[in-house]
Structure 1
């Protein structure tokens, strides 16, 4: 049985074996593992196996903790050696099915995670490099939702949380690329199906006065609250308020652009005046030359200072978080880079609102799969027509401003449009339940192509022109009869007193169809393999059948619903196959059993005849 003493004894044995494997030796590591650690898994007892599995994990974690206390120069080689040894042990134990479960497949990632939790970001960056280089060995049989998948996701998310957006952007990018190459694009952990927003980034501001600029300042920075959490715009009529503030901001930026254009035009006039003075002409604004020279001297000094700090002409100033002081506000909105950043933020929010247009929501709803148990949740509100008009006007104005305040504005706006379009497609892809992006295999591709070709052939058959119907009335005889009386006045025929009004007697018809060998021995059901003669015989059989039933309805209508059949005859008929039943036998029974039954008799049973004259008229 498992107890504390046996655990301690086994732990000491395993720890000694691990230390032997970690020591420097000319003997290959796999030989040392087979000689020291592998024999510890030789027992077949389940209880002992469980004890040794837990003890082995405990010893590795203990050694990993000991390594994490070493200086960084000694830590990295020892950590790499321990992790490599664990991977080798897992591969060796995997050769034997009975020993495969002795060491957890995710143990190496667990040890790596625990070491990273105790180290600085500089050391973690080197440890992460080991993860990148040994990805194939570490991530064998990776499943995103269990085991290694969860440990790796937790490890990477913790590193991203610890890194700084301004100081560790390169490291953060490596982590993101590693995750995107490891997990499928449709993995739930990277899709954010719930539409959760990062509300940790809070913007604080306060105005020192109550004038009009202070109100604009407060409204301007209040937009960041809605930008960080767009869901708030759908509550308590906040959307109307946000759109009004955005309109004010865009109009204010447009005024600044207009002032900049006027100022630029004045400077151009001054330069033209200077050129005129050099050529002997007098400029009315030449007395401002000292101010201009001083300004140019200041600009040149700024450029020299930028070059000193290593800034190139294409350098774009980046601020991870702008200052919100009221004293700096007017200077900030005068900065083109600042205005450009704010305008792009507004475009992102406007595109989010465009996704709530009724037409777009209808398109998204059609793209959703009905079997999706966890679809992306759309906000519950929609945009009115007046709000749609305001949003589209702002959209065009902002792109126009971006083209005016940015050098090479056409290329910049085209890039922004492309990024927003890709974001829109990404969102639509999420709404459509994350369709797979993986390249399909060749057998699957062939199968899909065959199904596609089969569908094309079926479509061609369904869309080709059908052959005209040979007999428009269903049979040759009826069609001939119809065509022969097509142009005859039906009213005149009915009014003709000389035409025969009574059908022939049924007994005569019965004798006639018997002479015609009805029913045919080959049956009357048509078959594609029938010859022309067989088709003619069957067609004649159908005509005789219709003729007999048509005549029998005059005197034997009572038996059409349920023919009167004798008990022994009924049993005999039931034994025969359905296709061999003889309609003439039924008709013969009608004649033999009810020779006097007429349609008048059947009618008189249900309703009385008023007088003899009516009865005689009915017979006629």
Structure 2
């Protein structure tokens, strides 16, 4: 590497030169990728810049870096393999900036100087460095760094032609979109300005030789009788008109100035706020759609397209319709007939019309009453309001365009893609009109997270020991032969099925307690207990004498069942008392409690599972 002798001899310059020498040993290739492993340049415990530190030494480090950078640019061409010194220097400086040893935007400033001094061919190659180091360059983000990225990319886009360099322009835009967060206001047109500089020129003088005297005045001959109106006037019938009446279409020469004049409205929508201009736009769009439906369709094949001001991509992997790249169509009258038949051309024009119609529909009285429109900036609150008749036309022509776009090869897929993009753009417009309120949630503070976590743990923790539902004493298993343990669990006495009579006795007891209850709370608890035990008894009685339930009066419970349901034959329970026995003679102690019943039921389940 040739280094000019004008470089000042200071410790920062000597250290950077030493690191670049080590970099040539670590990174053997001369390409941009892979990035230089800066940590491999450090020997032992030394710092990246030796004894130099940030703060007071930062100006010396930046001055030394610029001196080496400019001297290398002056002596080495970007196509030379030794130009890898520049990429190594930028990687080293980025490593230092991440550790606050120099300015965070130093690398971006040097790249900006590099792109300004290179040709477009060199910029295409140098821009690869930005793309490959994007995550490192933009992290962490800062306002000063974002401004440099925005200025750098905008200056590069001014030098490029969207017609001649569409791919490179796309790379720059993608880099911009990936470098800024989605909700960043720097990429938003808050003032609602339109690209009025995008002027479409065409052969307007041809209008004098056509039946239409003015390029846009398609109604100049309204005094002609209705019987004599043919191609001189764009008299497209309304959408509600019957399909049997085929609408007349304009002649190619008459349609030519009307069609290309639509581009002036597309680039400057506020022009439609004038009543006469809106009528011209309406007539021109209807005439264009009618002509599109009439002409034969021509589908471009891969690698072929209509003559435009930019070459279409000829990559065989592209879709046939997607291969037609027309950033700016030629407006020659000789090509107009061919362009009208091109399906890709038609779709591009109609998508422009859909965008314009969506803009007009945001100006209806209903849309203007929405909260997001009321909160919009004054520049985006237009004084124009679409009346009912104009709104009906806009909705109707939108449906007609949508139906037409779904025709042809992959038409439904194409329209679904367009509709999805336009729907998302509506949400984007609302966000801009609402003054770009941030939709990103702030990070939860560490203290709040810890408090919430501990609170959730306390809420689910067992404050008191949960009583086991299995209340049977299993200590006998320790003194029992393991081979006989299972048989002990299956013993008949482990679970005694209650009878309906058991619950009937309990209900009679509850009825006595209800008569002696003093408070409403006590009565409520007794009634709940009675309902529960009535349901349990009826469930047991239903196993053998379900037909007896017809004798139960409405609103009555277990105590009204016939006596036959209380026998062992009716319930299938051998332990149930016979009907001939006195009901009151059955001692309550002979029947297990509710907890004992649950415990016995659990024992039976465990025994069945083991079996």
Offset of 1:379 from its aligned partner?
Answer: 2.5
Q: Counterpart in 2 of 1:228?
A: 267
Q: Is the 8 A contact 1:185 1:437 kept in 2?
A: no
1:263-282 matched pairs, under 5 angstroms? none
Q: Does 1:20 align with 2:57?
A: no
Offset of 1:239 from its aligned partner?
Answer: 2.4
Distance in 1 (CA, whole Å) between partners of 2:291 and 2:380 is 36
Cα separation, partners in 2 of 1:388 and 1:164, compared to 1, 3 Å: same
Cα separation, partners in 2 of 1:355 and 1:159, compared to 1, 3 Å: same
Distance in 2 (CA, whole Å) between partners of 1:178 and 1:439 is 24
Q: What TM-score do the two structures reach when normalised by structure 1? A: 0.53
Q: Does 1:67 align with 2:72?
A: yes
Unaligned runs of 5+ in 1: 1-7, 95-99, 265-298, 451-620
Q: Is the 8 A contact 2:199 2:264 kept in 1?
A: yes
Indicate which of 322, 326, 332 corresponds to 2:339.
332
Q: Is the 8 A contact 2:375 2:433 kept in 1?
A: yes
Q: Does 1:410 align with 2:412?
A: yes
Q: Counterpart in 1 of 2:193?
A: 196
Offset of 1:54 from its aligned partner?
Answer: 4.3
Cα separation, partners in 2 of 1:36 and 1:310, compared to 1, 3 Å: closer
Q: Is the 8 A contact 1:10 1:55 kept in 2?
A: no
Cα separation, partners in 2 of 1:401 and 1:11, compared to 1, 3 Å: same
1:36-78 deviations in Å (ceiling 9; x for gaps): 9554669x9xxxx4xx654543332232223334222336411
Q: Secondary structure at the match of 1:201?
A: coil
Q: Counterpart in 2 of 1:397?
A: 400
Cα separation, partners in 2 of 1:432 and 1:376, compared to 1, 3 Å: farther
Offset of 1:350 from its aligned partner?
Answer: 0.8
Distance in 1 (CA, whole Å) between partners of 2:273 and 2:301 is 47
Q: Secondary structure at the match of 1:147?
A: helix
Q: Is the 8 A contact 1:110 1:151 kept in 2?
A: yes
Q: Counterpart in 1 of 2:132?
A: 133
Cα separation, partners in 2 of 1:56 and 1:433, compared to 1, 3 Å: same
Distance in 1 (CA, whole Å) between partners of 2:136 and 2:416 is 43
Distance in 1 (CA, whole Å) between partners of 2:169 and 2:360 is 30
Q: Is the 8 A contact 1:105 1:148 kept in 2?
A: yes
Q: Does 1:360 align with 2:363?
A: no
Q: Is the 8 A contact 2:108 2:148 kept in 1?
A: yes
Cα separation, partners in 2 of 1:247 and 1:136, compared to 1, 3 Å: closer
Q: Counterpart in 1 of 2:291?
A: 252
Q: Secondary structure at the match of 2:257?
A: helix
Q: Is the 8 A contact 2:373 2:433 kept in 1?
A: no
Identify, as 1 or 2, the structure richer in helix: 1
Distance in 2 (CA, whole Å) between partners of 1:232 and 1:66 is 54
Distance in 2 (CA, whole Å) between partners of 1:137 and 1:319 is 35
Cα separation, partners in 2 of 1:432 and 1:169, compared to 1, 3 Å: same
Q: Secondary structure at the match of 1:200?
A: coil
Cα separation, partners in 2 of 1:303 and 1:427, compared to 1, 3 Å: closer
Distance in 1 (CA, whole Å) between partners of 2:133 and 2:127 is 10
Note the aligned Cα RMSD (angstroms). Answer: 4.0
Offset of 1:35 from its aligned partner?
Answer: 8.1
Indicate which of 428, 431, 437 corresponds to 1:429.
431
1:171-219 deviations in Å (ceiling 9; x for gaps): 4444333333332222111121112222333211114452135443112
Cα separation, partners in 2 of 1:110 and 1:402, compared to 1, 3 Å: same
Offset of 1:314 from its aligned partner?
Answer: 4.4
Distance in 2 (CA, whole Å) between partners of 1:115 and 1:313 is 34
Distance in 1 (CA, whole Å) between partners of 2:353 and 2:186 is 27
Indicate which of 338, 343, 350 corresponds to 2:350.
343
Q: Is the 8 A contact 2:302 2:315 kept in 1?
A: no
Cα separation, partners in 2 of 1:33 and 1:361, compared to 1, 3 Å: farther
Offset of 1:398 from its aligned partner?
Answer: 1.6
Indicate which of 322, 329, 332 corresponds to 2:329.
322
1:538-617 matched pairs, under 5 angstroms? none
Q: Counterpart in 2 of 1:385?
A: 388
1:496-511 matched pairs, under 5 angstroms? none
Distance in 2 (CA, whole Å) between partners of 1:32 and 1:134 is 27
Cα separation, partners in 2 of 1:337 and 1:142, compared to 1, 3 Å: closer
Q: Does 1:150 align with 2:157?
A: no
Deviates more, 1:358-367 or 1:151-160: 358-367
Distance in 2 (CA, whole Å) between partners of 1:399 and 1:346 is 11
Unaligned runs of 5+ in 2: 1-5, 27-39, 212-250, 306-313, 453-611
Offset of 1:249 from its aligned partner?
Answer: 2.1
Q: Counterpart in 2 of 1:471?
A: none
Offset of 1:119 from its aligned partner?
Answer: 2.0
Q: Counterpart in 2 of 1:543?
A: none
